[in-house]
Amino acid sequence: MKVLSELRYLPRAHDGEHWFLYSQIDALIKAEFVEKFKLAVFHSPFKAGFGDENESYSAVTKSVTTEAIALTDDRRDKGLRRLDLGVQYATLSDDAAKSEAAKRCMVILDLHRGAASKSYAENTAAVADVVERFQSDAYKADIETLGLTDEVAALKALNDEFQTVYMSRLPEQYARSTREATRSVRQRVDAAFEDLADAINAIYIMKAYIEPVAEDAAEIKALADAINAAIYQFQLTLARRGVGKTPSDGEEETPGEPENPDGGEGGDEGTDLPFEPTDPNPDEGGDDEEETPSVV
């Protein structure tokens, strides 16, 4: 008699689905329950493993700094573009001094044509070179003649801002590169929960049948029901996108991430599950009792 439902098709789950399932289970298993039933030796590896999965999952999702980097890069590129257009416009001036100054400055800008389409590092270096040259004694007078001194100073500020934001992400990137892969962490969490589930099932058998303690058995059963509900929803989510079903001839399994980790909108009616949930009342008999499925 096992009180917890089987977890099937775990390798087929998307990372978000896997994380969501275990976040629910982790929240359901309270420290008081673990201490009362002396489950620490089984619960601690699961708790630690899920903590690692949580970090790993967060690391592979979009970084909070990614958008900031993209925005500062875009502002920097626009600043370079404004300066470039200002110099190009001046090459058409009727003022010979201004036109000649613009042509000299265009030589520098042409050296770094297309900088915005290059890597962050190359783009940053190109802009830094443009700013350094235009602020040097060799070009400072030309830039003043063109009335672009403020534009060059603004471009330098934008490039400095980009470097600050970009450098702030490097420790995060290094941590991500050295962190255990999500797939490996998931396997550890699955194994740890399997051991924990076996322990809970064993304690339930002890408290319900071998050395009956009705209050303890009821407490374990209540936790198991809550965990089974989370497992049921997890399996339903997988079933909705075809995991566990046998496609008919010429039909492929439906790929893609569900809109919501709990299965999206709509009721459960009409969905074929790839498993049979554990009998919610295993203690009660019946003439037509179904065979108990294999469990964790």
- Residue-wise DSSP of 220-236: HHHHHHHHHHHHHHHHH
- 57-83 mean pLDDT: 83
Question: What is the model's pLDDT at position 31?
Answer: 96
d(CA 22, CA 49): 10
d(CA 106, CA 91): 9
- 244-257 mean pLDDT: 44
d(CA 104, CA 88): 11
The three-point CA angle 267-272-273 to 5° equals 95
pTM of the complete model: 0.52
Question: What is the model's pLDDT at position 191?
Answer: 96
- 37-44 mean pLDDT: 97
d(CA 28, CA 46): 13
> Which residue type sits at 247?
P
d(CA 250, CA 294): 31
DSSP state of 45: H
Question: What is the model's pLDDT at position 169?
Answer: 74
Instruction: Count CB atoms within 10 A of the CB of residue 221.
Output: 18
d(CA 17, CA 261): 6
Determine contact, residues 160/143, Cβ cutoff 8 Å. no
Q: Measured in Å, how far apart are the chain's first and last C-alpha atoms?
A: 12
Mean of the per-residue pLDDT values for the chain?
83
Question: What is the model's pLDDT at position 150?
Answer: 97
Question: What is the model's pLDDT at position 215?
Answer: 96
The confidence band for 281, taking pLDDT boundaries of 50, 70 and 90, is very low
Spatial neighbors of 289 by CB under 8 A, at least 6 apart, are 279
The confidence band for 58, taking pLDDT boundaries of 50, 70 and 90, is confident
- Where do the structural domains in the chain lie, given as residue ranges? 1-36+182-245+254-296, 64-178
Return the top range by mean pLDDT from 231-240, 255-264, 274-283.
Answer: 231-240
Question: What is the model's pLDDT at position 177?
Answer: 61
From the list 59, 39, 82, the residue with the least C-alpha distance to 185 is 59
User: Per-residue pLDDT for 269 more than 50?
Assistant: no
Tally of CA atoms within 13 A in the half-sphere of 7 that contains its CB: 28
d(CA 291, CA 7): 17
Question: What is the model's pLDDT at position 73?
Answer: 95
Determine contact, residues 17/25, Cβ cutoff 8 Å. no
d(CA 239, CA 212): 37
